[in-house]
Structure 1
Amino acid sequence: MNELVSAQTATALKQVKLGFLGVGWIGRHRMKAMLDSGFAEAVAIADPSTDMLRQARTLAPDAMIATDLEELLDQQLDGVVIATPSASHTEQAIRALEAGIAVFCQKPLGRTASEVKGVVDASKTANRLLGVDLSYRHTQGMRQIRELIRSGALGMVFAADLTFHNAYGPDKAWFYDRTLSGGGCLIDLGVHLIDLALWCLDFPSVATVTSELRAGGKRLEESGSVEDFTAATLTLSDDRVVRLTSSWRLQAGCDAVIGADFFGTEGGASFRNVDGSFYDFTAARLSGTSREILAEPPEEWGGRAAVDWTSRLARGQRYDPAAEEFVAVASVIDRIYQAGGCDLKTP
């Protein structure tokens, strides 16, 4: 399991020089995790909000304030951390990679599989490390469940159910503009479910996809609107089945309902949030009517994907072929939208 490494190990490696593009809540949280790891120093930060910059400077008081990405790239950086609105991710990531700078980006890496492939191709051409903040991979519970599946301990895993509902919607207007966000709850929340399913099952090919996309309880018909509820079924090439549901503003009776269940011929495994929490999870191995607890809260997992990328960058890692997994996830998202009758064209 990729845990945060010890401070002794961190000090034995060269600190990488990072620029931070976008320092809202998520950007600052990842910045803190990276800096606390001992692997990185914040050389420069950029954000259009003076309030966000002020708060970021409390974490990195010596970082220069850059006006934009171009000024960040002039600072002889090893890597750029991107936490900007989704429509900007592809262009910004490719620009940094073409400048010979590694990239860690918030999801989605692009609004379509074509955009994501463009970033991955740029990473390969530049031979620079590319990371995406698919943070749930780094929870203790999901790591253990994946190991159970891959080791064959659950027998043949033939089905999976994954869910991510919340009682809220995003508080930024750009989330509701498909040209800026790429979509609604599917690309915002469902991306984690698709990634976890494919990652645990070793990225099998997907044979067929069916889906329903809804907004305000009605089928999504206008290409300019975004979905607030998605239900999809993926039939894999080996006939295994994966069911996914995600939503914004669901009448859930709590803040969030998050779960991933995997069913095998010799047992099952379950990952669940606790009391509606976005951060606390339990994981269990299932056998008939019994369950064995694998992981329980508390656990500080939110920054682990960021620290993992930073530590690999500090060790000198360059292009990682596993970046092709980002394209596989984006391709499934495209197919879910297409099956639901959604236009994927972006300007």
Structure 2
Amino acid sequence: MTTSAPIRIAMIGLGWVFTEVWAPLLANPGFRVVAVFDPDDGALARACDAFPAARALSAVEQLDPAEVDLAVVATPNHLHAPVGASLLRRGIAVFIEKPVCLTVAEGALLVEAEREGGARVLAGTAAWHRADVKALRAQVDRLGPLRTIELSWVRARGVPGSVGWSTKGASAGGGALFDLGWHLITIGLRMIGWPAVWDVVGSVSSDFLGRKGFGASWHVGGERRAEPGAGQVEDPVEDTVRASWRTRTGVFFVLTTAWASHIALDRTRIAVEGADGRAELDCTFGFSPQRSGASSLRVLTSGRIEDVELPDEPVGTEYRTQFGLLPTLLADPNQPGAATGESVRIVDLIERIYHSAGVALTRAPGLRAG
């Protein structure tokens, strides 16, 4: 690969994330889709129509390391780590959509495959690249020694649906915690340098799963569901998680994630409090049309309130920002091991939250890792 040549992309998994996120981004002339794979013949045909120069694969193993610079793994969750590891071992760099892995053991599998194949893992946590999140991060140093970080992403009606893999434990690995919580945990812990985590407590519930009227309507096209959020769910995951923990450095975290709730509009809040002040970001993450309005960031110090000006950022800009960083990350000599290291930390915390909540995690058999 040269700096002037387009980056050659293989898309592995052609569902909603590909259709709504990756396909529009890959129209960029700096990238060229050379191969696509999905077990769904219809999805494969649509991808080939969108990218006529791409080769349709009948199996992931058909991908030739010599023809690709980066494989994007956007499969159902339970295949992320095994597919990623199989590609890495063959020397193919991968971008793995979140959740990168579903267990610490899967994370270790990716770490070893990255070393063995000499390729690198890149990982998706687009919310980190939001302009309002960047503005919040810029306020942290002025808050003094940190005491508390509150992380909340609560949807009004956003259950991914009862038909398909997203709400089934064997294929999704988990529910709102893996889906929404992965973003929040990344932001909260990365912001303070990934200190060790202690005293994890969590609870989960599924009060809205399968109830008509609480589905994510904006996911219908990608997942081809007739009535999102309606009907009996087999092997259900959680739709709501509440958790807390403290770090070795003394910061206390409170986390709430929910696919659905009794509020009228989706709401995301990240609040960081220190000895010298408190910063509060109110916004709406994701693609939901049920948005709470423009983002707001305010800093409170000794009874005074300062409103921080934020840019007007269109929905989805964070994905374009993340996408634009791919060439740099592919060339960065410090990148190997970085994404897998963070992913292991995240999934370790997620496993401990589920363990505290008494959840027995299930896994579907995926591709063989070796």
Provide TM-score, normalisation by structure 2.
Answer: 0.81
Identity %: 23
**Which amino acid letter does the alignment assign opposite residue 147 of structure 2?**
F
Counterpart of 1:32? 24
Q: Which moves more between the two structures, 177-186 or 71-80?
A: 71-80
Change (3 A) 1:128 1:12: closer
SS in 2 for 1:173: coil
Post-superposition Cα deviations, 1:103-159, rounded to whole Å, max 9, x if no partner, equal 00111112112212211331233232211111101111212322332xx21111210
Are residue 87 (structure 1) and residue 98 (structure 2) matched? no
Counterpart of 1:307? 324
Change (3 A) 1:143 1:124: farther
Q: CA deviation at 1:332?
A: 0.5
Post-superposition Cα deviations, 1:206-264, rounded to whole Å, max 9, x if no partner, equal 0110111112289xxxx95421111000111122101000112212212x221211112
Q: What's the C-alpha RMSD, in Å, of the aligned pairs? A: 2.7
1:290 to 294, 305, 328: 305
Provide TM-score, normalisation by structure 1.
Answer: 0.85
Map residues 192-271 of structure 1 onto 2, 5 A cutoff.
Answer: 192-216=183-207, 224-254=235-265, 256-271=266-281
**Which amino acid letter does the alignment assign opposite residue 327 of structure 1?**
V
Q: CA deviation at 1:302?
A: 2.1
Q: CA deviation at 1:50?
A: 4.1
**Which amino acid letter does the alignment assign opposite residue 144 of structure 1?**
A
Contact kept, 8 Å, 2:78 with 2:173, in 1: the verdict is yes
**Which amino acid letter does the alignment assign opposite residue 165 of structure 1?**
V
In structure 1, distance between residues paired with 2:78 and 2:321: 25
Are residue 154 (structure 1) and residue 143 (structure 2) matched? yes
Change (3 A) 1:282 1:59: farther
Contact kept, 8 Å, 2:33 with 2:51, in 1: the verdict is yes
Map residues 68-107 of structure 1 onto 2, 5 A cutoff.
Answer: 68-73=59-64, 76-107=67-98
**Which amino acid letter does the alignment assign opposite residue 228 of structure 1?**
D
In structure 2, distance between residues paired with 1:189 and 1:321: 21
Q: Which moves more between the two structures, 100-109 or 50-59?
A: 50-59
Contact kept, 8 Å, 1:162 with 1:193, in 2: the verdict is yes
In structure 2, distance between residues paired with 1:51 and 1:168: 26
SS in 1 for 2:325: helix
**Which amino acid letter does the alignment assign opposite residue 283 of structure 1?**
L
Are residue 169 (structure 1) and residue 184 (structure 2) matched? no
Q: CA deviation at 1:74?
A: 6.1
Post-superposition Cα deviations, 1:255-300, rounded to whole Å, max 9, x if no partner, equal x221211112222222222594399644343433413224232242
Contact kept, 8 Å, 1:16 with 1:313, in 2: the verdict is no
Contact kept, 8 Å, 1:13 with 1:315, in 2: the verdict is no
Q: CA deviation at 1:322?
A: 4.7
